[in-house]
Structure 1
Amino acid sequence: MSLPLKILIVSFVLLHVKWLHAEVTLLNEVLITDSGLHFDGRKVGKDAQTSATNTYDYYFGRSISAHGDSIKVYQEYVFMTWYRGGKFDRRVMLTRLNTKTGSIQHIAFPHRHTGFRNMWWIGESHNAIAVAISPINETIHLLYDMHAYSAKKPSDGSLATDYFRYSYSVPGAATVADEDFTLAQFVPDESPISTGDYDYKHLTMTGTIDPSQFAGLTYPTFFTNTDGTLLMYMRKGGNNNGGYVFNRYDAENQVWSDFTQFNVLNASNHGLAYDWGLYGNMKYVNGKLRVGFQRRSSNNNDKYQYQNGFYYAYSDHPDGFGEWKTHNGEVIPFPLVDADDIKIFEPGDLVKTTTPNQVSIVRGFDWNVTEKGDVHLIGTVIDKENKDTVHVHTYKPAGASEFITSTDFAGASEIYTAGDDIYIIGLTRDGYPFVEKAQGGTNEFSRIYQGRGGKRFDHGKVHISQGKLYYYLMERGSGSAQPLYLQIIDLDIVDKS
């Protein structure tokens, strides 16, 4: 199976950086566990009854470990989340690796993956575990095992008091001694719905149980702004009537703010013909909170089977609570009502078909911004009627007023930033990591690293810190418990100041 490329545009604040002959080097490969949960069975429907089988069937995708917002670096520590396999275990896990000593510590949480709509025997790839560390008070934060759950989803009401899953530590937990890195660092739930002393799962981030805020959420992602404030966003609602909500962590008082909406739900109640949802992400990059997405309209009679468009905006407010603007600095309504106010390009116009539901734009979308301000968006367009696939790279060099679109592009699934250059980081068809580089604001890539021999990997998650690539990977294997590794790769970013 051909694995998707992953583009990485990596960003650091480095003064007087000089790129030498690129000698990107694998520094270390560390086995994290032999038993990362993986869905090794078949894609099944919601009525599947396979609880007794050893293989782990799934509803959406196969991956749940080394997936989502699952790796962060703080000081000399690497924090990674995963579910423990196999199928009949499914425990939430947090691992801390000390890169100076090589020590690895694991914490097993009581919660087990609940599967698709609380049917544990059907794996749910949306439900990855997000992790963050506050650099201000060194608390650890986890959000996990959610896909728009509420008192009515699933319809049997079985998650009426379990629709949101949040765990957090006491201050200083991120850097405690190895022998103290245990579940005792985390704060138990003492709310009226607590299941007892061994319950570390909270239904709220604010201390107040409030389904209007915390029900119906998916895709937790953490990031840190320039002053160290921890931010988090999730998607609220569903596929064609959804929006992004985000909040901030007050480290001094150890409490999260209420959610702020980026865009309205039920847009048809605000003057538009159709409701819409969004598929993409928010990121804190190059000193600003930004958003990029594709729109999914509730209009089921246009040529788009699911999503359409490239949309992008940024905020000049340090926490994103206002001052949202288009790519060229024009102020937009906030919360956003009409996605067309921030539309960059329509990739669906690159294919011929106009037949209803024949343009598919669901794979390979991402965006990012380099340190000097080059804006990059990527996506894949499939013309189902004419059996044509187009990979798209749309970018605006810093200082330019218009975007450039190229279809001379191999395709990718994620982009990040590193200085003023862009990187493609991914796995070859044989499962070996590789790195390609191009100058920001261009589409000219060259390969500067390729792993050869050794272990072959199925998928992975990239994180960059201090000039090093931390590649969190699942080895190709069999069964519902498979090995997870961390590769640390020096990107050869040299500070000559």
Structure 2
Amino acid sequence: MKYLKFFSRWFVGVLLFVTYGALAQVATISQNYFVSQIKVTDSAMFFDGNKVTGKHTENNPNGFDYIFGDALSPHGDCIKVYKNFVFMTWYHGGKDDRRVMLSRLNTKTGMLKTIAFPHRHTGFKGKWWLGESHNTIAVGISPKNDSIHLLYDMHRNGRVNAFADDYLRYSYTLDGAATVPDEQFNLSLFVNSKAGHYKHLAFPGINDIETTKLLTYPAFFTGDNGDLFMKMRFGFSANGKMLFARFDGKQWHGYTDFNRVLASEHGSKYNWGLYGDFKYVGGKFRVAFQRRSKNKTDKYLYQNGIYYAYSDDPIGVSNWQNAYGEPIALPLAKSELIKIAEPGDWAKTTKKDQVSIVHGFDFTVTDDGDEHFVSQVKDLEFDQVINLHTFRKSGSKEFTTVKYETGSQLYTAGNYVYLIGLNNGRVNIARTKGGESNFKVVYQHKQGPQFDKGVLYVADGKVYYYLKKADGEGDKRTLYLQVFNLKS
């Protein structure tokens, strides 16, 4: 009966989903870098229960239990800026709701419009009552036809029997949907599916269903020529590959594998997976990551190294090179061919599994070609945390690695590289000139709400920071958007 009651609420929700519209209250303060702040919602889904293991099956009547992290909004590739619009994704709380939501802020009119979708967060391996923080909602915009693309609630769904006909959660709009007037921004812009839930089981143009079934960590980015790229991981943590596909405004092309699974069968000593990112920055298609190897005898508990390659091909299919301009063939099996640094060498310990590298990795490249990487090393034996900055000025051959104090995410605007993150719950911005390591704090926000999580996007010299308020009770939390101007 409990399931039947839940299904009834879910079905009614599907029939009654609506577009939420509200005039955003934009507070503009002329204070240094700060531009504006709006509240996006007071109803973002939050896991307020206990952290449990993957073997847990019970439904906690007193909270929303979870497997990994306690917050799924904002998380992942959840914010994009396109023309005068800011797009933000989130799940609607609480535990019995869990709907996929897409908000659009029109920065010219101040109007915030939100679309509610039928799909609800399906939880850990189909157990909807267990929160799964891998299952982010990614949003991408195609500059070639102004269409919106969403990928959500995906963590190797093809391995779950209950998802035999629900392994890909992909929603997309008609041409021009991203820029429609405020009053037209609603669910009717999205192309419905045969099942009536706006989810499609394939990318138009891609027929590789077996790969599609096992994708995780969806994200989007755009190239200089206006192509929209989708990137994901296929496989597992220590035996996985990164791949991408390309949308040309009409259909998808792919998949293109950057590396191989089962690398040990293709010349590598061990199988390995990768934790990093594809980006189109500094005029090139690039990838940088840290490797998680199947080697269980070394000092690394999880990842090691910095691995980096780029392509001059605007669609990323050919002409891949390592950091020193030497050609490499895809899919890559020997990760050593593109290794540029070893952060683990900065740890004192030599004992097995005592170097932990899982957080703090990012990279960017300036328009001038200055390359910058940050990483964080934890020496478990000596209880030390080491933040490292690896960089190379354009035209130089070798990389330099130094310690630095401000750990955060890397971004570039103009001739500067920025580290942007939270300090004491509020936005902190540090910068250095490209090709240097002289980070100095240029702005610390000191008023308004305090936050404990955020995802940001930099566009046209501005930071759009999508933030979760730190305090709150129950299975809902408050989300804000703050905007900062990067003055050079």
What TM-score results when the alignment is normalised by the length of structure 1? 0.89
Alignment of 1:31-430 (within 5 A): 31-150=39-158, 153-154=159-160, 157-190=161-194, 196-197=195-196, 199-206=197-204, 210-251=208-249, 254-407=250-403, 409-429=404-424
Q: Distance in 2 between matches of 1:411 and 1:101?
A: 36
| Offset of residue 317 of structure 1 | 0.5
| Offset of residue 208 of structure 1 | 5.9
Q: Distance in 1 between matches of 2:320 and 2:156?
A: 26
| Offset of residue 371 of structure 1 | 1.4
Residue 25 to residue 332, structure 1, CA distance change in 2 (3 Å): same
Match of 1:6 in 2: none
Q: Distance in 2 between matches of 1:160 and 1:210?
A: 15
Q: Secondary structure at the match of 1:264?
A: coil
* C-alpha distance after superposition, 1:12-37 (max 9, x if no partner): xxxxxxxxxx9742221111111111
Check conservation: 1:187, 1:200, Cα contact below 8 A: yes
Question: Structure 2 counterpart of 1:188, which letter?
Answer: N
**One of 473, 480, 485 as aligned partner of 1:485:** 480
* C-alpha distance after superposition, 1:345-391 (max 9, x if no partner): 11111112222212111111111111111111111112222222221
Q: Distance in 2 between matches of 1:113 and 1:375?
A: 38
Q: Distance in 1 between matches of 2:373 and 2:137?
A: 26
Question: Structure 1 counterpart of 2:388, which letter?
Answer: V
Residue 377 to residue 107, structure 1, CA distance change in 2 (3 Å): same
Percent identity over paired residues: 50
Q: Secondary structure at the match of 2:410?
A: coil
Q: Distance in 2 between matches of 1:283 and 1:412?
A: 20
Q: Secondary structure at the match of 1:136?
A: coil
* C-alpha distance after superposition, 1:437-492 (max 9, x if no partner): 11112221222111112111121111111221111111112222111111111222
Q: Distance in 2 between matches of 1:179 and 1:54?
A: 39
| Offset of residue 300 of structure 1 | 1.1
Residue 208 to residue 135, structure 1, CA distance change in 2 (3 Å): closer
Alignment of 1:20-35 (within 5 A): 24-35=32-43
Check conservation: 1:54, 1:87, Cα contact below 8 A: no
Question: Structure 2 counterpart of 1:27, which letter?
Answer: V
Q: Distance in 2 between matches of 1:339 and 1:330?
A: 14
What TM-score results when the alignment is normalised by the length of structure 2? 0.91
| Offset of residue 255 of structure 1 | 1.4
Q: Secondary structure at the match of 1:453?
A: coil
Q: Distance in 2 between matches of 1:481 and 1:387?
A: 35
Q: Distance in 1 between matches of 2:237 and 2:191?
A: 33
Q: Distance in 1 between matches of 2:258 and 2:80?
A: 25
Match of 2:20 in 1: none
Choose between structure 1 and 2: higher helix proportion.
2
Match of 2:7 in 1: none
Residue 210 to residue 227, structure 1, CA distance change in 2 (3 Å): closer
| Offset of residue 411 of structure 1 | 4.7
Q: Name stretches of at least 5 consecutive residues in structure 2 with no aligned partner.
A: 1-29
Q: Name stretches of at least 5 consecutive residues in structure 1 with no aligned partner.
A: 1-21, 191-195
Q: Distance in 1 between matches of 2:485 and 2:351?
A: 48
**One of 423, 434, 450 as aligned partner of 2:428:** 434
Check conservation: 2:124, 2:131, Cα contact below 8 A: yes
Q: Distance in 1 between matches of 2:254 and 2:440?
A: 45
Q: Distance in 2 between matches of 1:279 and 1:74?
A: 27
Q: Secondary structure at the match of 1:158?
A: helix
| Offset of residue 258 of structure 1 | 2.2
Q: Secondary structure at the match of 1:47?
A: coil
| Offset of residue 179 of structure 1 | 2.1
| Offset of residue 331 of structure 1 | 0.6
Q: Distance in 2 between matches of 1:266 and 1:411?
A: 37
Q: Distance in 2 between matches of 1:213 and 1:50?
A: 31
Question: Structure 2 counterpart of 1:434, which letter?
Answer: N
Question: Structure 1 counterpart of 2:402, which letter?
Answer: S
Check conservation: 2:408, 2:419, Cα contact below 8 A: no
Q: Distance in 2 between matches of 1:468 and 1:366?
A: 19
* C-alpha distance after superposition, 1:118-149 (max 9, x if no partner): 11122111111110111111110000111122
Determine which structure has greater relative contact order: mean sequence separation of CA pairs < 8 Å that are 6+ residues apart, divided by chain length: 1
Check conservation: 1:364, 1:411, Cα contact below 8 A: no
Q: Distance in 1 between matches of 2:470 and 2:380?
A: 31
| Offset of residue 49 of structure 1 | 4.2
| Offset of residue 107 of structure 1 | 0.5
| Offset of residue 207 of structure 1 | 5.6
Q: Distance in 2 between matches of 1:255 and 1:68?
A: 24
| Offset of residue 162 of structure 1 | 1.6
| Offset of residue 222 of structure 1 | 0.8
Check conservation: 2:206, 2:253, Cα contact below 8 A: no
Q: Distance in 2 between matches of 1:239 and 1:326?
A: 23
Question: Structure 2 counterpart of 1:463, which letter?
Answer: Y
Check conservation: 1:38, 1:481, Cα contact below 8 A: yes
Q: Distance in 1 between matches of 2:311 and 2:468?
A: 36
Q: Distance in 2 between matches of 1:213 and 1:363?
A: 28
Choose between structure 1 and 2: higher strand proportion.
2
Check conservation: 2:411, 2:419, Cα contact below 8 A: no
Match of 1:9 in 2: none
Q: Distance in 1 between matches of 2:140 and 2:165?
A: 24
Q: Secondary structure at the match of 1:348?
A: helix
| Offset of residue 54 of structure 1 | 4.1
| Offset of residue 214 of structure 1 | 0.2
Aligned residues: 458
Check conservation: 1:363, 1:413, Cα contact below 8 A: no
Q: Distance in 2 between matches of 1:237 and 1:260?
A: 15
Match of 1:444 in 2: 438
Residue 54 to residue 28, structure 1, CA distance change in 2 (3 Å): farther
Q: Distance in 2 between matches of 1:394 and 1:464?
A: 21
